Amino acid sequence: MTEKVLSILIFLPLVGLIPLLVLPKSRSGIYKYINLAVCLLQTILAVFVFCLYSKPGLVTDPIYGLFKLTERLNWITIDLGNIGRLSINYFIGLDGLNVTMVLLSAIVMLIAAISSWSVEKHLKGYYALLLILNTSVLGCFLSLDLFLFFLFFEFMLLPMYFLIGIWGGPRREYASIKFFLYTLAGSLLILAVIIGLYFSVADPVETSVRLGLAENIEAVTVNDVSNVQGMLQSKQIPKRAIVHSFNIPDMTSPKNFIPGSVFHVFTKINFMGLPIRMAAFLALLLGFLIKLPAVPFHTWLPDAHVEAPTPVSVILAGILLKIGGYGLIRTVLPVFPEGMVYFGSFISFLAVLSIVYAAMNALGMKDLKKMIAYSSVSHMGFVLLGIASGTPEGINGAIFQMFSHGILSSGLFLAAGVLYDRTHDRGIENYRGLASKMPVYTIAVTILFFASLGLPVFSGFIGELFSLLGAFHSSTTNGLVPYWMSITAVLGILIGATYFLWTLQRMFFGKFWISKNITFNNKFNDLNSREMIMLVPLIIITLVLGVFPGILLEPVSDSVEVLIGQIFSSGLDNLKTMQNFRSL
Amino acid sequence: MNSYLITDLDNLVYFSLIAALLPLSAFFILFFFGKKLPRKGDWLATLLIGLSFILSLLVFFSVWEGRAGSMTFQWIALSGIPENAFSISVSIDKLSSFMILTVCLISLLVHLYSMEYMKGKLNYTRYFPYLSIFTFAMLGLVISDNLLITFMFWELVGFTSYLLIGFWFTKEEAVKASKKAFLFNRIGDLGFLLALMIIWSFAGTFEFQYLGDSFEDQSIWFTLAGLGLVLACIGKSAQFPLYVWLPDAMEGPTPVSALIHAATMVAAGIFLLAKVFFLLSEDVLTTIATIGAITMLMSAIPALFQNDIKKVLAYSTISQLGYMFVGIGAGVPEAALFHLFTHAFFKAGLFLSAGAVIHYMHEIKHVLFHEGVYNDFDAQDMRLMGGLRKRVPLVFIVFIVCSSSLVGLPLLSGFLSKEAVIGAAFNWADSYSNTNNSFVYYLIPLSCFVTAFFTALYMIRQLMMVFFGDFRLENLIPYLNAKHEHHHQSLLISLPLVVLCVLSFALPFSLNPFSPQSSWFLKEFNQLFESNLEFAHWVTYTTVLLALAGIVLGIFTYRNKVYISDKAEKSDVLELFGHNWYLEKFYYKAMVLPGFRLAFYTTKIDYLIDRLIEGTAIAYVVLSHIVAWFDKNIIDGIVRLMATLAVFISGFFKNLQSGKVQQYFVYTLATVMILIYIFFNWMK
Amino acid sequence: MIPSTHFLIIAAFLFSIGIIILIIKRNAIAALMGIELMLNAVNINLVVFSNLNRQMDGQMFVIFVIVVAVAEAAVGLALLLQVYKSYKTSDLDKISKLKG
């Protein structure tokens, strides 16, 4: 049971899909409970997995050292004759980079499940899409096979498109198509690189089985692997015996790249004047930056958020954005580390641009949800900054910030939804003095706002602080982030405080007043118990993480250290090789 | 997770930790259950802070006996980062123990005072939890021995003061003032953050005890980190150019102003500077002194033109904080700390007495309201007061004592500390001008003198306006003449006033009330900082004489001044000082407006990006329409042409299939004959 | 002895009459009779040529042809009867279901 827990996590929603589809429409009241039960179970499992991971004692994978609870099954194997052999695995596993993400997505999905209570249209379709989305999100976070990752990554698009396009606001078609096209453009770039990687990378484990060094995959030892790698690099393995692979852990080691292939370090292929590896790095980076999103690829986000129904906004901000950041640290950095070293200041420029530019935009917004959406972009800029710094505190901070932002933005969108449910209006300037009508709501919003603007004792502070510390540390040591950028990034904190406080002042304080355009059926009721159940745990989580950030940071840090080792050892090596090889 | 790194503690550390955590527990209890408790639980908060105060006394006395304690926990353990990089440490030494005592004492007095002052006010349930959480944050800030943790509490102090300033959240001005306070503090915090980033990168630790060793080379970064911290203190301690938030912060309830804006929060900056004193290079110290001097002058003059009873005190606070900055900058932090200490008491006393006056005015307002002659007037406007010494005699006495202390008259505590600061400033200017051959440095002690004069002037103006002359409100509303009921002063209000009044005398601080050097406070702290405490005597005489001159001039100027007239006073001087040197306008024009303009432009850029993308999309659609047309007409056309041909040909052959047997026969026959003909021809 | 040419001329004549009947006559029975005539013309030719060759195989073949013709006539008439039943006519021009 414990060994298969990750698969259970991924496919639990699909199991829940069966009763959902079987039940007739007349029983539509049960749908939400099915979804809730699935999400609840998943959250319990995710917490269990997290605890399991963070306590020492879990066996690591014998070959891919860091990973725990790995599952590896042959999925598609085709002999391609002279080209070699194609092998796609169902390969999932847990390490520091994704363990927090799994926990986050389970929690956010649960909150979204509760938040979906208010959906009334086409319930069956809605919940079915939600469950499919759930599976693909967890699959995406857990898969260690690039093909599998991409499959889940793409599969997320479909339910999202329909969830925005059918259950969204008045401009939903526009928003959903924009979302779809943007993300699809990103995925195409990713796909192109994945295909190239496939032709370039050999799986030493399966190759050694094929060469007869071991009887089956389970019997392969680390020794075999290094033997095969040595043979591969000295071109002793015939081409038809090489097993091509999509394994991400295999891609991170330069020894697994087949000599003479597209992405091997010695390759002489150029693309648009750049060495192909650099071009591939940029393509992959761009694909994930769109998802993150970083300025200037961000304009899909405000529209998608504004039009999406509350639970979908929650999922979008809480989980889907994180896949961009996760993709960066899972694939881009370890596979093309020299790109990270070479383009470090470019990435951090985008990060700082995101932080400041999106914050300025948030300041200018008149729509509450749009303001929150832009604040999301600004906060995700800190994630990018932390990643770009390439320092332990920076990347740890980035992962922490992803988690924290997932929790906080979920809370913020829920809060915006609370108001929207009552009045169907989100204009900031249409309200004043809500505090006197909805005191508890005001307290919740105040806490969420202050947590988001980086007040200590809340998780947002830790994430931003670590990113900034990392950025400046990087300025003084590895130079990936120039000084002026790390100093400019600090401004984001000030602007963040400005727009949040200004909104708070305009909407919640002062004498009660609402615009005449607002028509509301029921009165300004304060939070009901369902809304409390959603908001209070989020607030507690952000508070606990703000006071004890070690809960989240400590399990992560081992993997981050390895990642940084990869970036700087093989990254610098590769860069040097490439520079010697041609004048870069 | 929390494993001990260093164990060097005795009861002290526990006592101070408990003292800090008691208000936190009060916050949680009152925040969640306050509504259900009798009197909304204000007694509970007061009780707990009283316990904290007792603990702080214990801590204070045991430290003064020469004991100290510290404790370090590991907070976050990360691989790839040094082990003690992120830790929580508590250190109880002279500096922190005296701050704990000050905070607990003032907080306790304010709690007591508020129980009466805030009674029956809107949102009373929220008030005491906010006070408690503020006290907690302040205590945490004071006992922490780790710069990062200090920063966290520093921010928390800012947040809680935001809550308290904006306590009357339905009042637009209060909310705006709270936002302004938080944002100006945030500007300072950016400096703190930068300092943290620099310290992290170069020292790799935030522990105060290791910080000194880590900065061995005095690089430019060392100075920059110091400047960052100074910026933070400028924000928190309301110094030029960030002091504009403090006068506005008077929108908060008056006891809050006494606690936050006189004694504790604004003092945090001075405390921090004293704590990181060893990190500050000479250039930074000069900067501090200059800023202090500018601030004290700039804020003392507008204080002369304020009509709001609390705003005068606010400007006065800024000006006194300027003295403290000068004390730090002059390299004598003990003088600054001493002034902080005495100032905390007499300024809190002044604020609380002002509060008592306002309370009295409010009562009149209530009476008028109940009698049906409701006349809305500003209860804080000094132009409506006057002659109150007969109505609230106790408040009058306290006010006189505390303001004399503020002015720096001998026998009072303010005299001791102010002389220490000014003397230190003179010594500093002496030594600097000797080494650098420049008299510019004398500007700083000079501004101290000038400010001392202005201090006397504005305080006497306030005294005259509030307590002497006629009660001008009565002249305005004749109805009041008939009502001459005696004002009953509640014990909860008078007790804190009396305590603070007693603490404004010199005796508790020094056995010889004319000599700052003989005060126990300076003696103790001198062991810590080891700076020169010998001051020239003429400095003292000059200061006192200037203060007296100010008082005399003030009495003559303001004795028969008419405050309420049909002609509104208007002059350029009033405009300038009444508007606080146009600093606010400057900020509005230089920061706020450009900020919003920038925000506007960025939204426009986003709009452009969107249109660009839509343009691409439209171009794409147009292209696809062209392709579709090509597909439909050219490629499909060819296919259709072939199809038409096929139909035409097949039509011909189809017609042969008439279905008539005889025709078939004829065709067959003809074919056979043709074949036979061909066959025969071929045979030939 | 009558020269064989005469027989051949009569046979050709008969064959031509058969063809013309087959082409011209609308009645299906008449068309069948035309076919019979053509068959008999061929029979005459076979007999004449076998006589010229002094061999008996031609005449033997004629007997086969007559038998086959009888069978064919029977089948043809039966078909015609069926056609008549369904179409209510024996006019060949009207029986044109096979028209393309």
Sign, CA dihedral B331-B333-B334-B339, equals positive
Q: Give bridge partners of residue A431 from the DSSP assignment.
A: A514
Residue to substitute from B661, B664, B666, B669, interface C, most C β-carbons within 10 A:
B661
Residue to substitute from B155, B172, B175, B220, interface A, most A β-carbons within 10 A:
B175
Q: How many CB atoms sit inside 10 A of residue B108's CB? A: 23
The residue-averaged pLDDT of A342-369 equals 90
Give the C-alpha separation, A300 to A324, whole Å. 14
Residues of C in contact with B666 (CB under 8 A): 23
Domain count, chain C: 1
Give the C-alpha separation, B656 to A65, whole Å. 82
Please, which residues 622-661 of chain B have a Cβ atom closer than 8 Å to chain C?
Answer: 653-661
> Is B664 buried (19+), middle (13-18) or exposed (0-12) by CB count in 10 A?
middle
Q: How many CB atoms sit inside 10 A of residue C7's CB? A: 17
Q: Which residue of chain B has the CA closest to C95?
A: B660
A-to-B residue pairs, Cβ atoms closer than 8 angstroms: 140
- Residue B5 has a pLDDT of 38
Block residue for tokens 């058969």: C18
- For chain A, how long is the longest CA-to-CA vector? 81
Domain of residue C62 covers: 4-87
| HSE toward the beta carbon, residue B656, CA cutoff 13 A | 9
Among A230-244, B109-123, B214-228, B648-662, the least confident range = B214-228
Question: Which element (helix H / strand E) includes A113?
Answer: helix A96-115
- Residue B563 has a pLDDT of 66
Average pLDDT along chain B: 84
Please name the member of B655, B659, B665 whose beta carbon is closest to the beta carbon of C23: B665
Q: Which amino acid is at B606?
A: D
Q: Which residue of chain B has the CA closest to A436?
A: B170
Please name the member of B172, B200, B605 whose beta carbon is closest to the beta carbon of A473: B200
Please name the member of B656, B659, B662 whose beta carbon is closest to the beta carbon of C22: B662
The residue-averaged pLDDT of A388-393 equals 89
> Is B117 buried (19+), middle (13-18) or exposed (0-12) by CB count in 10 A?
buried
Cα dist from A501 to A278, A364, A406, B186, whole Å: 43, 13, 21, 12
Q: Got the DSSP string for A192-244?
A: HHHHHHHHHBB-HHHHHHHTTSSSSGGG--HHHHHHHHHHHHTT-S-GGG-EE
The residue-averaged pLDDT of B236-253 equals 88
Please name the member of C19, C31, C96 whose beta carbon is closest to the beta carbon of B658: C96
**Residue A473 pLDDT exceeds 50:** yes
Q: Is residue C96 part of a domain?
A: no
Residue B409's nearest CA partner among B499, B534, B540 is: B540
Q: Got the DSSP string for C21-67?
A: HHHH--BHHHHHHHHHHHHHHHHHHHHHHHHHHT-SHHHHHHHHHHH
Residues of A in contact with B613 (CB under 8 A): 178, 299
pLDDT tens, position by position, B54-108: 988 888 888 877 777 888 888 888 877 777 778 888 888 888 888 899 999 999 9
| HSE toward the beta carbon, residue A138, CA cutoff 13 A | 28
Give the C-alpha separation, B448 to B450, whole Å. 6
Q: Is residue C94 part of a domain?
A: no
Q: Which residue of chain A has the CA closest to B176?
A: A505
The residue-averaged pLDDT of A475-485 equals 86
Give the C-alpha separation, A130 to A111, whole Å. 12
Say which residue, B470 or B570, is predicted with more confidence.
B470
> Is A260 buried (19+), middle (13-18) or exposed (0-12) by CB count in 10 A?
exposed
User: Treating both helix axes as pointing N-terminal to C-terminal, what angle do A459-476 and A337-363 enclose, rounded to 10 degrees?
Assistant: 130
Q: Which amino acid is at A268?
A: K
Residue B134's nearest CA partner among B258, B314, B237, B13 is: B258
Per the CB < 8 A criterion, the answer to whether A363 and A428 are in contact is no
**Residue B350 pLDDT exceeds 70:** yes
Residues of B in contact with C95 (CB under 8 A): 659, 661
The residue-averaged pLDDT of A196-204 equals 86
Please, which residues 141-180 of chain B have a Cβ atom closer than 8 Å to chain A?
Answer: 148, 151-153, 155-156, 159, 166, 169-172, 175-176, 179
B668 — contact with chain C (CB < 8 Å)?
Answer: no
Please, which residues 74-133 of chain B have a Cβ atom closer than 8 Å to chain A?
Answer: 75-81
Which chains pack against A, by 3+ Cβ pairs within 8 A? B
Q: Give bridge partners of residue B89 from the DSSP assignment.
A: B72
**Residue B8 pLDDT exceeds 80:** no
- Residue B627 has a pLDDT of 93
Residue A501's nearest CA partner among B187, B579, B141 is: B187
- Residue B37 has a pLDDT of 80
**Residue A538 pLDDT exceeds 90:** yes
Please name the member of B657, B658, B662 whose beta carbon is closest to the beta carbon of C23: B662
Give the C-alpha separation, B185 to A494, whole Å. 10
- Residue A46 has a pLDDT of 93
Give the C-alpha separation, B307 to A583, whole Å. 74
β-strands A243-245, A85-94 pairing: parallel
Q: Got the DSSP string for B576-635?
A: HHHTGGGHHHHHIIIIIHHHHHHHHHHHHHHHHHHHHHHHHHHHHHHHHHHHHHHIIIII
Q: Does the bond joining A293 to the residue before it have cis omega, within 30 degrees of 0?
A: yes
Residues of B in contact with C93 (CB under 8 A): 660, 662
Q: Does the bond joining A334 to the residue before it have cis omega, within 30 degrees of 0?
A: no
| pTM: predicted TM-score of the whole model, two decimal places | 0.86
- Residue B1 has a pLDDT of 34
Report phi then psi at A55, rounded to 5. Answer: -90, 140
**Residue B6 pLDDT exceeds 60:** no
Q: Is B131 helix (H, G, I), strand (E, B) or coil?
A: helix
- Residue A520 has a pLDDT of 64
Q: Is residue C95 part of a domain?
A: no
Strand order in the sheet with A68-79: A68-79, A85-94, A243-245
Chains A and C touch (3+ CB pairs under 8 A): no
Query: For a pLDDT cut of 90, what percent of chain B falls above it?
Result: 19
Q: Cα C63 vs. chain centroid, distance in angstroms?
A: 14
Among A153-162, A223-232, B203-212, C41-50, the least confident range = B203-212
Query: What single-letter DSSP state applies at residue A121?
Result: S
Place A61 in a pLDDT band, splitting at 50, 70 and 90.
confident
The CATH number that applies at residue C16 is 1.10.287.3510
**Residue B616 pLDDT exceeds 90:** no
pLDDT tens, position by position, A412-463: 999 999 888 888 888 888 888 888 888 899 999 999 999 999 898 899 999 9
Cβ <8 Å between B194 and A455: no
Among A536-540, B291-295, B428-432, B562-566, the least confident range = B562-566
Q: Is B88 helix (H, G, I), strand (E, B) or coil?
A: strand
Give the C-alpha separation, B619 to B614, whole Å. 8
Which chains pack against C, by 3+ Cβ pairs within 8 A? B
- In the structure encoding, which two tokens stand for residue B89, read together? 């440490």
Q: How many CB atoms sit inside 10 A of residue A479's CB? A: 13
Cβ <8 Å between B659 and C22: no
Please name the member of B151, B190, B599 whose beta carbon is closest to the beta carbon of A494: B190
- Residue B216 has a pLDDT of 60
Q: Cα A133 vs. chain centroid, distance in angstroms?
A: 14
> Is B140 buried (19+), middle (13-18) or exposed (0-12) by CB count in 10 A?
buried
Question: Which element (helix H / strand E) includes B199?
Answer: helix B172-203
**Three-state SS annotation for A343-354:** HHHHHHHHHHHH
Please name the member of B656, B660, B666 whose beta carbon is closest to the beta carbon of C92: B660
Place B564 in a pLDDT band, splitting at 50, 70 and 90.
low
Q: How many CB atoms sit inside 10 A of residue C29's CB? A: 13
| HSE toward the beta carbon, residue A176, CA cutoff 13 A | 20
**Residue B497 pLDDT exceeds 60:** yes
Place C88 in a pLDDT band, splitting at 50, 70 and 90.
confident
| Top mean-pLDDT range of A371-380, B499-508, C28-37 | A371-380
Residues of B in contact with C96 (CB under 8 A): 658-660
Report phi then psi at A154, rounded to 5. Answer: -70, -35
Give the C-alpha separation, A378 to A495, whole Å. 10
Per the CB < 8 A criterion, the answer to whether A50 and A95 are in contact is no
- In the structure encoding, which two tokens stand for residue B478, read together? 């004749």
Cα dist from B637 to A9, A97, B623, B631, B634, whole Å: 55, 58, 20, 8, 5
Please name the member of B653, B658, B662 whose beta carbon is closest to the beta carbon of C99: B658
Query: What single-letter DSSP state applies at residue B2?
Result: -
Cβ <8 Å between B200 and A436: no
